């Protein structure tokens, strides 16, 4: 069984609608109930900042600072993590668009935000993700990259380095600077990073496919089949060096075309994720809204199990309004699956009765206008 990671204390200062708030947690699952707008999702967002990136809303740091705050925001958590008990503090110190997020671990400044992945893996499912299958390809790429990042923390750095190199190439092309030595050097860098990104994505999909196939009979949710398209569609099974040479050649051949378009038209930044409802053999985008939600829930839970299997530690799950569109039987099955992962989950909803089947497995907290109070199970 994967080992458990859990939050035991959470303290917020000037975060969203919380001037100051604190939670003492018992290591069980946590159910946050209250009216819409009370601040339930804000609490989940704060926990999502215990992972690299801009959280589950992808918000600019200025947007999460409480109105009328004198400075920035801070989040403090005491966790039982992958390297034992640890205190984590993160936030920004100033009301400044350029302010960087700082991280302190056991009181010591961390070199990079990526150090968070050494202690905790945080995964989430929010209502904003419901349009994943029908929305733009950029949403699906971002979703897939988040899946990869949870097991390969270096993926985020590769992606940002690729974007930086691509911007440099685009700038040279837009200025009409077709110096072959400059462009070849940038394109070789893009090829190395771009193929590494594509291979990491494909590896994630392969691992996920094997796990879904092995567990599909035990899940009450439909299973998804995922594949990549839009970049190297002929396959990524060849040696990486051959793929890199091919991509570099594609970039070199497309210089004038890309200059005319004002952007790079070939690369992992143009890839898409194709999702199929396996039982119906139907594109997810053509499924009903309910089927799409069930597919997404099953996919996120399968990924959470994959993270647990590969790291040896169950991730922390953030499930926003997870029970709203499920019937009683499927809700109970969902809670059993979440509990079976062996980790800690934070769930939100307006109706506490929807979570009754969790019983003693969860700690219930009422959220009302930025104040928090514990309730009996």
In the chain, where are the structural domains located?
Answer: 1-121+313-377, 131-294
What's the average model confidence in pLDDT over 264-291?
95
Residues of the chain above pLDDT 70, percent: 100
- At 80, the pLDDT band (50, 70, 90 cuts) reads very high
Mean pLDDT for the chain overall: 94
Beta strand spans in 208-358 (E)? 224-229, 272-277, 282-283, 316-319, 345-349
The pLDDT value recorded for residue 328 is 85
Other Cβ atoms closer than 10 A to 199:
16
What's the average model confidence in pLDDT over 257-275?
96
What's the average model confidence in pLDDT over 165-175?
96
Q: Is the pLDDT of residue 119 over 70?
A: yes
Q: How far apart are CA 196 and CA 16, in angstroms?
A: 37
- At 377, the pLDDT band (50, 70, 90 cuts) reads low
The pLDDT value recorded for residue 25 is 96
Residues of the chain above pLDDT 90, percent: 87
| CA-to-CA separations, 14 to 74, 91, 365, in angstroms, rounded | 7, 10, 20
Q: Is the pLDDT of residue 267 over 90?
A: yes
Q: Is the pLDDT of residue 325 over 90?
A: no
- At 370, the pLDDT band (50, 70, 90 cuts) reads confident
Helices (H), 216-327: 240-253, 255-261, 289-311
The pLDDT value recorded for residue 39 is 95
The pLDDT value recorded for residue 374 is 81
What's the average model confidence in pLDDT over 153-175?
95
Whether 271 contacts 195, CB under 8 Å: no
Residue 375 neighbours by CB under 8 Å, 6+ apart: 33, 352, 364, 365, 366
Weakest mean pLDDT among 19-28, 58-67, 91-100? 91-100
pTM score, two decimals?
A: 0.94
Residue 87 neighbours by CB under 8 Å, 6+ apart: 76, 77, 78, 105, 106, 107
**131-294 has the same fold as 1-121+313-377:** no
Q: Is the pLDDT of residue 329 over 90?
A: no
Fold of 1-121+313-377: Rossmann fold (3.40.50)
What's the average model confidence in pLDDT over 67-84?
95
- At 21, the pLDDT band (50, 70, 90 cuts) reads very high
Structure tokens at 254: 């497309």
What's the average model confidence in pLDDT over 16-41?
95
Whether 66 contacts 14, CB under 8 Å: yes
Fold of 131-294: Glutathione S-transferase Yfyf (Class Pi); Chain A, domain 2 (1.20.1050)
| CA-to-CA separations, 118 to 8, 81, 113, 350, in angstroms, rounded | 18, 8, 10, 34
Weakest mean pLDDT among 178-187, 303-312, 368-377? 368-377
């Amino acid at each position: 069984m994967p080992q458990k990671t859990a939050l035991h204390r959470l303290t917020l200062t000037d975060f969203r609608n919380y001037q100051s708030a604190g939670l003492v947690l018992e290591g069980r699952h946590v159910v946050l109930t209250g009216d819409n707008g009370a601040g339930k999702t804000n609490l989940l967002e704060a926990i999502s900042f215990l992972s690299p990136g801009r959280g589950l809303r992808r918000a600019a740091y200025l947007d999460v600072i409480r109105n009328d705050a004198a400075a920035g925001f801070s989040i403090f958590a005491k966790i039982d993590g992958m390297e034992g008990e640890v205190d984590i503090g993160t936030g920004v110190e100033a009301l400044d668009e350029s302010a960087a997020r700082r991280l302190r671990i056991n009181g010591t400044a961390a070199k990079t935000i990526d150090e968070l992945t050494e202690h905790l893996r945080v995964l989430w499912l929010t209502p904003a993700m419901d349009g994943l299958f029908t929305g733009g390809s950029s949403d699906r790429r971002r979703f897939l990259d988040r899946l990869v990042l949870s097991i390969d923390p270096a993926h985020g750095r590769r992606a940002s380095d690729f974007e930086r190199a691509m911007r440099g190439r685009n700038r040279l092309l837009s200025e009409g600077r077709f110096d072959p030595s400059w462009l070849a050097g940038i394109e070789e860098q893009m090829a190395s990073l771009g193929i590494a990104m594509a291979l990491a994505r494909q590896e994630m999909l392969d691992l996920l496919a094997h796990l879904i196939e092995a567990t599909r009979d035990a899940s009450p949710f439909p299973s998804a089949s995922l594949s990549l398209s839009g970049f190297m569609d002929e396959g990524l099974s060849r040696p990486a060096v051959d793929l890199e040479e091919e991509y570099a050649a594609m970039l070199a051949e497309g210089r004038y075309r890309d200059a005319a378009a004002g952007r790079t038209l070939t690369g992992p930044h143009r890839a898409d994720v194709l999702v199929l409802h396996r039982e119906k053999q139907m594109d997810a985008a053509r499924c009903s809204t309910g089927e799409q939600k069930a597919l997404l829930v099953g996919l996120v839970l399968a990924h959470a199990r994959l993270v647990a299997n590969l790291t040896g530690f169950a991730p922390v799950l953030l499930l926003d309004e997870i029970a709203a569109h499920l019937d009683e039987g499927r809700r109970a099955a969902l809670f059993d699956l979440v509990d079976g992962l062996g980790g800690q989950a934070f769930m939100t909803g307006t109706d506490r009765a929807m979570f009754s089947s969790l019983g003693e497995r969860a700690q219930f907290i009422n959220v009302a206008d930025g104040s928090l109070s514990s309730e009996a199970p």
